[in-house]
Amino acid sequence: TQMMQNNLAPIPELYVSFESAQKMKHEAGNLTSHDLTPRQICDLELLMNGGFNPLKGFLSEADYNGVVENMRTADGHLWPIPITLDVTDAFADTIELGQDIALRDQEGVILATMTVTDKWVPNKAREAEMVFGADDSAHPAVNYLHNTAGNVYLGGPVTGIQQPVHYDFRARRDTPNELRAYFRKLGWRKVVAFQTRNPLHRAHQELTFRAAKEAQANLLIHPVVGLTKPGDVDHFTRVRCYEAVLDQYQPSTTTMSLLNLAMRMAGPREAVWHGLIRKNHGCTHFIVGRDHAGPGKNSAGDDFYGPYDAQDLFREHQEEMGIEMVDFKHMVYVQERAQYEPADEIEDRDNVTILNISGTELRRRLQEGLEIPEWFSFPQVVEELRRTKPARSKQGFTVFFTGFSGSGKSTIANALMVKLMEMGGRPVTLLDGDIVRKNLSSELGFSKEHRDLNIRRIGYVASEITKNGGIAICAPIAPYATTRRAVREEIEDFGAFIEVHVATSIEECERRDRKGLYKLAREGKIKEFTGISDPYDVPKDPELRLDTEGQDVDNCAHQVILKLESMGLISG
């Protein structure tokens, strides 16, 4: 396999000619339109430009079943990840088989048309089990499947009209055929690709150097800038970091290109998928390290996949894929030799000092503004990261109270607001349940749909406040755990999210009945009343749980302050 070389002939794209595209665009204006989600836009781009070759569109039902059950399309091509067009029931009801629909981006620009050949309700639990290894919503893609994706899948061939428009880092984006042409021009017959969703530190650099040497290949640094794991460093910052370290590499044998992929964090299956995508981009080798595309811990606190499962699955299929794996063990720093070495190849292990900073430890140091040593990363990279993520005591954050009506949320939230204003330093906004319902959500009632909409609006405002360095205090009932989680994810992109469960029991709330609402609810005069005739998901893992029975308001608010202090959000 040392002989493996690339075939750099162009691969098929799904685009029509420029002239046809103009005409189609005009005609497609009359078609039923589907507004693509951010993930679907990523998928569509790679379908159209050949990144997902040999797929010709969103999966049909037969292809989907094959991919889910045994990683193969109906005609036998290896394909590990379902590329599906999920839509709502309401939209699906308007679609007849055989119909053409227009696929639009979020501004309404028509990117493609699709002939709908298939329409079905997928078994999502099965998809989760087979593709992601468990039907456990702690997995980001399983959570997406159940709580974001529509109930119905549409399948059929896609005709590409134009690429999704990107205004950022335009010069750094390449289609598979553009990369192929580039490699052809430079005579790069062997190319090893490095996939990443993280900033590059010294360990990664060492790994890529070694991989290129081992494969005697040129190097493509191929970071994902589509969708990665919730909570990752945003791609703008990452690309600035990559650009900062690019001069560490030999320009005649290394290049970087950005890939607009929506990752699923599917571990082993994802590794195979990444390999196929890189093969399409003209690469001959692909680096798979420890815990490739790992999703983190499951709801029992264990890893979803073994650390080297991805390497095993890749190895099984690499011959058929036509791209060879360069596998690596975990790289660690050996102080005495001042270099990185694979954890399993360290000589004289008992007499050397092995240093390592985990991702969690790095985040902690950044959050607390602590030192990050030179052996770990490059000064320019650390500087970029610090600029984007100032120490926690300088970031915005959101305190999110949840609990029954009359549990004391508003009173404690008000006390907390005043205490934070007394301290000063950051602007504070209180988004109290009742106030929000008067202003932001005045037209909404208390159905599940309306409550979710209400909470999403609160979450949106809180995330903007957090992003801009302020403090948002929210105090709605927020009865649904999945909605609270969605808000958490939205906010954690910008700062801390502190969920505070005001755990006053329903009996106590009803006994107090400060607004007289429980009485009306019991009499059936208020319908869908939380705790009486409507559900409340008790938070399983809140940052803080307040027991208000036998404790005064000041004390409760003070507990929140202590929590904020312990998290490094406020400093003395």
Task: List the catalytic residues.
Answer: 196-198
Say if residue 394 carries a ligand binding annotation: no
d(CA 360, CA 365): 9
> Residue 529 CB, nearest distance to ligand PPS (Å)?
4
Helix axis angle for 481-492 and 140-147, nearest 10°, is 130
Bridging pattern class, strands 471-475 and 428-432: parallel
> Residue 527 CB, nearest distance to ligand PPS (Å)?
6
> Residue 398 CB, nearest distance to ligand PPS (Å)?
15
d(CA 205, CA 27): 50
Per CB under 6 A, the segment of 12-20, 77-85, 385-393, 448-456 that binds ligand PPS is: 448-456
Q: Closest CB to ligand PPS among 128 and 546?
A: 546
Query: Does 484 engage in binding with ligand PPS (CB under 6 A)?
Result: no
Residue 537: CB atoms within 10 A of its CB come to: 13
d(CA 499, CA 552): 20
Per CB under 6 A, the segment of 43-51, 191-199, 269-277, 521-529 that binds ligand PPS is: 521-529
Q: Which residue is nearest to ligand PPS (CB)?
A: 433
Q: Are 541 and 498 in contact (CB under 8 A)?
A: no
Among 352, 526, 553, 567, binds ligand PPS (CB under 6 A): 526
Q: Binding marks (x or -) toward ligand PPS, 391..430, rule CB under 6 A?
A: --------------xx---x--------------------
Query: Does 529 engage in binding with ligand PPS (CB under 6 A)?
Result: yes
Among 267, 476, 539, 542, binds ligand PPS (CB under 6 A): 476
> Residue 505 CB, nearest distance to ligand PPS (Å)?
15
Q: Closest CB to ligand PPS among 303 and 534?
A: 534
Say if residue 566 carries a ligand binding annotation: no
**3-state SS of 41-96?**
HHHHHHHHCCCCCCCCEECCHHHHHHHHHHCECCCCCECCCCCCEEECHHHHHCCC
Residue 174: CB atoms within 10 A of its CB come to: 21
Say if residue 51 carries a ligand binding annotation: no
Among 220, 517, 546, 569, binds ligand PPS (CB under 6 A): 517
Which two tokens mark 52?
Answer: 């997902």
Say if residue 409 carries a ligand binding annotation: yes
Per CB under 6 A, the segment of 63-71, 451-459, 460-468, 544-552 that binds ligand PPS is: 451-459
Q: Closest CB to ligand PPS among 466 and 530?
A: 530
Q: Are 499 and 539 in contact (CB under 8 A)?
A: yes
Q: Closest CB to ligand PPS among 280 and 410?
A: 410
What is the footprint of ligand PPS within residues 85-104 (CB under 6 A)?
none
Q: Enter the DSSP assignment of 258.
A: B
Residue 514 backbone zone (phi > 0: left; psi -120 to 50: alpha; other: beta) = alpha
Per CB under 6 A, the segment of 159-167, 272-280, 414-422, 528-536 that binds ligand PPS is: 528-536
Evaluated on CA atoms 265, 271, 273, 274, the torsion sign reads positive
What phi, psi does 104 have (nearest 5°)? -115, 150
Say if residue 405 carries a ligand binding annotation: yes
Which two tokens mark 541?
Answer: 């893992």
d(CA 547, CA 554): 13
Q: Closest CB to ligand PPS among 35 and 534?
A: 534
Query: Does 433 engage in binding with ligand PPS (CB under 6 A)?
Result: yes
Q: Closest CB to ligand PPS among 273 and 404?
A: 404
Among 21, 203, 362, 455, binds ligand PPS (CB under 6 A): 455
Say if residue 406 carries a ligand binding annotation: yes
Q: Binding marks (x or -) toward ligand PPS, 205..244, rule CB under 6 A?
A: ----------------------------------------
Q: Closest CB to ligand PPS among 337 and 515?
A: 515
Say if residue 407 carries a ligand binding annotation: yes
Q: Which of 160, 184, 162, 182 is nearest to 171 (CA)?
A: 182
Bridging pattern class, strands 110-115 and 100-104: antiparallel
d(CA 180, CA 186): 10
Q: Closest CB to ligand PPS among 89 and 547?
A: 547
Measured between alpha carbons, how far is residue 26 from residues 102, 160, 373 in Å? Answer: 11, 14, 57
Buried/exposed code over 417-432 (b: 16+ C-beta within 10 A; e: otherwise):
bebbeeeeebebebbb
Per CB under 6 A, the segment of 89-97, 108-116, 364-372, 475-483 that binds ligand PPS is: 475-483
Say if residue 404 carries a ligand binding annotation: yes
Binding residues: 403-410
Binding residues for ATP: 403-410
The site for ligand PPS (CB under 6 A) is made up of 405-406, 410, 433-434, 437, 446, 451, 454-455, 476-479, 515, 517, 526, 528-530, 534
